[in-house]
Chains A and B, each alone.
Chain A
Amino acid sequence: MSVEQTTRDDATLAALAGAVRPRRFGALYVAEHQLRAMRAYGWTIVIGGLGQPLLYLLGLGLGLASFLDAPVGFGPDGPVPYVTFVAPALLVTATISVTTEEFTYTVMSGFKWRRVFWGMNASPLAPGQVATGLVLAVAVRMAFVAVAYTALIAAFGAVGHLWSVAVLPLLGLLGGMAFGLPLLAYSAGLRDDAGQFAAVQRFVFTPMFLFSGTFYPLATLPTWLHWIGWVSPLWHASELGRAVSYAQPMSGATVAVHLGVLVALAAGGWVLARRVFVGRMHG
Chain B
Amino acid sequence: MPAPVITATGLTKHYGDLVAVAGIDLEVAPGESFGLLGPNGAGKSTTMRMIGAVSTRTGGDLQVLGLDPDTHGPEIRSQLGVVPQEDNLDTELRVRDNLIVYGRYFGIPRAVCARRADELLAFAQLEDKARSKVDDLSGGMKRRLTIARALVNEPRVLMLDEPTTGLDPQARHVLWDRLFRLKERGTTLVLTTHYMDEAEQLCDRLVVVDQGRIMAEGSPAQLIREHSSREVVELRFGSQRNQAAAERIAGLGDRIETLPDRVLVYAADGEAVVEQVSRLGLHPTTSLVRRSSLEDVFLRLTGRSLIE
Contacts and interface: CB of A to CB of B under 8 A. Distances in A.
A114 interface: yes
A224 to B, nearest CB: 43
A116 interface: yes
Contact of A122 (B52, B79, B101, B104): B52
Nearest to A120: B105
A161 interface: no
A33 B113 CA distance: 14
Interface string B1-24: 111010000000000000000000
A-side interface size class:
35 or more
Interface string B135-160: 00000000000000100010010000
B3 A118 contact: no
B2 A124 contact: no
A15 interface: yes
Interface in A244-283: 281-283
A23 B54 contact: no
A15 B30 contact: no
Contacts of B74: 19, 22-23, 26, 124-126
B179 interface: no
Contact of B75 (A16, A37, A281, A283): A16
Contacts of A5: 3
Interface residues of B, number: 38
A120 B73 CA distance: 13
A25 B78 CA distance: 14
A29 B75 contact: no
Contacts of B56: 282-283
Interface in A119-152: 119-126
Nearest to A118: B88
A4 B82 contact: no
B275 interface: no
A99 B305 CA distance: 51
A5 to B, nearest CB: 7
A22 B105 contact: yes
B78 A36 contact: no
Given A4-B3, A114-B90, A119-B102, A25 B107 contact: yes
Nearest to B69: A282
Given A22-B74, A282-B54, A14 B156 contact: yes
A3 interface: yes
Given A4-B3, A115-B88, A119-B90, A15 B76 contact: yes
The winner among B56, B79, B92, B107 for most chain A CB atoms within 10 A is B107
Contact of A282 (B55, B66, B78): B55
Contacts of A206: none
A211 to B, nearest CB: 38
Contacts of A281: 54
A15 B90 contact: no
Contacts of A124: 73-75, 77-78, 105-107
B218 interface: no
A7 interface: yes
A19 B75 contact: yes
B65 interface: yes
Interface in B67-100: 67, 72-80, 82, 84, 86, 88-92
Given A33-B101, A36-B101, A122 B66 contact: no
Given A12-B65, A33-B104, A122 B84 contact: yes
Interface string A16-56: 10111111011001101100110010000000000000000
A7 B55 CA distance: 26
Nearest to A20: B107
A123 B73 contact: no
B105 A15 contact: no
A191 interface: no
B3 A15 contact: no
A32 B101 CA distance: 9
B105 A29 contact: yes
A196 to B, nearest CB: 23
B17 to A, nearest CB: 15
A54 to B, nearest CB: 30
A18 to B, nearest CB: 3
A119 B67 contact: no
A14 B79 contact: yes
B92 A22 contact: no
30 contacts: A4-B1, A4-B3, A7-B2, A7-B3, A8-B2, A9-B66, A11-B30, A11-B65, A11-B156, A15-B66, A15-B78, A18-B75, A19-B72, A22-B78, A22-B107, A32-B104, A114-B90, A118-B88, A119-B90, A119-B149, A122-B80, A123-B77, A123-B78, A123-B102, A124-B77, A124-B106, A125-B74, A281-B54, A282-B56, A283-B55
Interface of A: 3-5, 7-9, 11-12, 14-16, 18-23, 25-26, 29-30, 32-33, 36-37, 40, 114-116, 118-126, 281-283
Shortest beta-carbon contacts, A-B, top 7: A21-B107, A18-B78, A8-B3, A123-B105, A115-B88, A19-B74, A122-B82
Given A4-B1, A16-B72, A19-B75, 12 more contacts: A4-B2, A8-B3, A11-B66, A15-B75, A18-B78, A18-B153, A21-B106, A23-B74, A115-B86, A119-B88, A120-B105, A126-B74
